[in-house]
Structure 1
Amino acid sequence: MNRFSYARPGSVADALREVSSSPAAKIIAGGTNLVDLMKYNVERPTHLVDVSRLPGLKAIEETQEGGLRIGALVSNTSAAYDERVKERYPLLSSAILAGATAQLRNAATTGGNLLQRTRCYYFYDAAVPCNKREPGTGCPAKDGVNRIHAILGTSEKCIATHPSDMAVALAALEAVVRVAGPNGERSIPMAEFHRLPGDTPEKDTNLGADEIILAVELPEARFTKNYTYLKLRDRLSYAFALVSVAAALEMDGDKVAEARIALGGVAHKPWRVPEAEKMLRGKAPDREVFEAVAERILQGAQGYGENDFKIELARRSVIRALSQAAAGTPQSQTDKRIQ
């Protein structure tokens, strides 16, 4: 771990000044990801800006539009167990509880969860090349150990996946990320917050280097009954997703009126295909329709050898998740056996 200076600003304005003071400055709150990366010499900040005590960012509040605003410093535990979240956005609560351990959820924050970095083995090993860690050095995962890697939205430069469960649910719920920078505040829709690798895999998000996350805002509640967060992994607990699916349906009698589907563990960002969601509108929720939707979502999927199995796993996961959502029987995050 390299030497660094440390600041604990008392306001958002002070935090922005600290972040802008050095190109190698990094924000720290819970530290559940950044500290590990610093220990491995993957991240080498020269200045740490501790935002954990900034006022006003630890609240969950109603919005004027009838939704909820979850502050950037709200812990994952607090978000998952908040009665308003559980009642109005159960998909989000379920996704959060599917991730990490209780101890990590107590420390991890809303903003930090969105900004966590890939768990690619090569990214974490400073002794090997990695375009995400050092642009232009190569992507050994393409021809190497790639069982956990992406099958959608990849590029020649990177096949890493985004590890968050929370972000997958937020993408399905069409949340908005509120951020602050030198020029004031702005909103970034979840669909645009994370990036595909393209030619710049070192850039995980569209958050500016001189910006900080203030909150995540959820729209007016929908999908409170017919939803599920299905997570497939190598062991039942405390593992990152090989494939996960956030599925949410709004029913009109025995037909689907509206649908939202987002996948995790398969791409550099939560993966949504709005055209596939539209295929469900006005349809009775049956397996044939679900199979067609899964095929559309996975159109263009490509494996790299060890992760070829993910394509079929993702197809089956979409079908199973839509079946659970349609039946109103969400996957339990306590009894993790697939229903």
Structure 2
Amino acid sequence: MREFEYVRATEAGQAVATVTQDPRASYLAGGTTQLDLMKDGVLEPELLVDITRLPLRGVSRDGDTLRVGALTTMEELAADPTVAARLPFVREALLLGASVQLRNMATIGGNLLQRARCRYFRDPTVPACNKRRRGTGCAAVTGAARMHAILGADEHCIAVHASDLAVPLVALDASVRVMGADGERSVPLTDFYLIPGDTPDLENVLVHGELIVAVDVPLPRVGTRSAYVKVRDRASYEFALASAAVAMTLDGGVIREARVALGGVGTVPWRAREAEELLRGAPPGPSVFLAAAEATVRSPFTVPGTAFKVELAKRILVRTLSTVAGVTS
């Protein structure tokens, strides 16, 4: 790890001004991913601005919206009674997303901003990584690739988005409140993350110096059922091979509303709007669930190591839809 300067911010505006004015600067919160990348030499900030003492922690409710401070820890959000009662699939994603030790350190803002878990991105001795340096190629496309993306991927980058929490939040149309040098703005999570395309090094719409200060989560109507299902290589803490977040409202034997997203298979948390359209107004059952899965996993980009994820993604979605609807195949 290279040497760096360290300052502790006492006010959000001060932190934003400091980082905005210095292209070498980065924010430091829980540090559970950032410090690892610094040790590996992938990230090399020359100035760290510690924001952990800023008043950006806590969960509050304003009508049908839950506001989560960006420095709220994963464990704190999972323990919130409104989350347990109205957003069970968010709680499940939090509990499945990290060990207890990490959940007590990792912040919500940091979780949404965590970097790719691609082994090639995290190894600076691998020269071909468009995410580290645009135009160098993607070693994962020709190398061993299993924990990689099939949706939103192409020859430029197949790194998967690692956040479990982002998957149900994307399904709920959550948004992030961002503070920058020019004030605050709100960005829907569905617009926040960027498909790699020709610019894999740009992962979201933040400009240098902007700081996530809160996450606004719309609460679904009372009676909505939800679940987050995650498939991984081992039962203990592990990243998803594939996951699905589903929230569903049933009325009169049909699906009145459905919100669907996939994780572990996309370069971004993957909102399945085609599936939602097929499900809305349909009676729940295996045939409609399979049609929704087929519509979601369309035109995947696969390499030999990721081809299995096409069928896995469909099956995890059908399983989650069946679980939420209480349907047995």
TM normalised by structure 2 equals: 0.97
Q: What is the rounded CA distance, in whole Å, between the counterparts of 1:177 and 1:293 in structure 2?
A: 28
Alpha-carbon distance in 1 for matches of 2:310, 2:27 = 36
Assess if the C-alpha contact under 8 Å between 1:89 and 1:223 holds in 2.
Answer: no
Contact 1:225/1:328, CA 8 A, preserved across alignment? no
Does the aligned pair in 2 maintain the 1:159–1:268 contact within 8 Å?
yes
> Which residue type is aligned with residue 76 of structure 1?
M
Match of residue 50 from structure 2: 50
Residue correspondence of structure 1 range 6-85 to structure 2 within 5 A: 6-55=6-55, 57-63=56-62, 65-85=63-83
Equivalent residues in 2 for 1:256-275 (5 A)?
Answer: 256-275=255-274
Superposition pairs for residues 163-242 of structure 1, below 5 Å? 163-222=162-221, 225-242=224-241
Which of 100, 109, 112 is matched with 1:111 structurally? 109
Conservation of the 8 A alpha-carbon contact between 2:4 and 2:47: yes
Partner of 1:305: 304
Are 1:233 and 1:239, in contact at CA under 8 Å, matched by a contact in 2? yes
Counterpart in the other structure of 2:95: 97
Contact 1:7 1:18 in 2 (8 A): no
Aligned residue number for residue 142 of structure 2: 143
- Residue number in structure 2 paired with 1:121: 119
Partner SS for 2:97 = coil
Equivalent pair of 1:226/1:328 in contact (CA under 8 Å)? no
- Structure 1 pair 223/160, CA: closer, same or farther in 2 (3 Å)? farther
How far the C-alpha of 1:223 sits from its partner, in A, is 6.8
Structure 1 contact 150–160 (Cα < 8 Å) conserved: yes
SS of structure 2 residue aligned to 1:122: coil
- Mind listing any 5+ residue stretches in structure 1 that lack a counterpart? 330-339
Distance 1:258 1:162, change over 3 A: same
1:127 and 1:154 map into 2 onto residues whose CA distance is 23
Fraction of identical pairs, as percent: 49
Q: Distance in 1 between matches of 2:291 and 2:249?
A: 19
Question: Is the Cα–Cα contact under 8 Å of residues 165 and 264 in structure 1 kept in the other structure?
Answer: yes
For the aligned residues, what is the CA RMSD?
1.5
In structure 2, the residue matched to 1:327 is 326
How many Å separate the matches in 1 of 2:203 and 2:80?
Answer: 29
Take 2:149 and 2:27, find their aligned partners in 1: how far apart are those partners?
27
Q: Which moved more, 1:268-277 or 1:26-35?
A: 268-277
SS of residue in 2 equivalent to 1:94: helix
SS in 2 for 1:14: helix
- For 2:253, the aligned partner's letter is D
Distance 1:54 1:108, change over 3 A: same
How big is the shift at 1:275?
Answer: 2.4
Letter in 1 for 2:322: S
Using the alignment, how far apart are the partners of 1:97 and 1:223 within structure 2?
Answer: 23
Count of residue pairs the alignment pairs up: 328
CA deviations over 1:291-317 (Å, ceiling 9, x no partner)? 000000001112100111000000111
Q: Counterpart amino acid of 1:305?
A: P
How far 1:328 sits from its partner (Å)?
8.8
Q: Which runs of 4+ in 1 moved over 2 A?
A: 220-225
Distance in 2 of aligned mates of 1:156 and 1:14: 41
Between the aligned partners of 2:327 and 2:286, the Cα distance in structure 1 is 15
Structure 2 segments unaligned to the other structure (5+ residues): none
Q: What's the CA shift for 1:221? A: 3.1
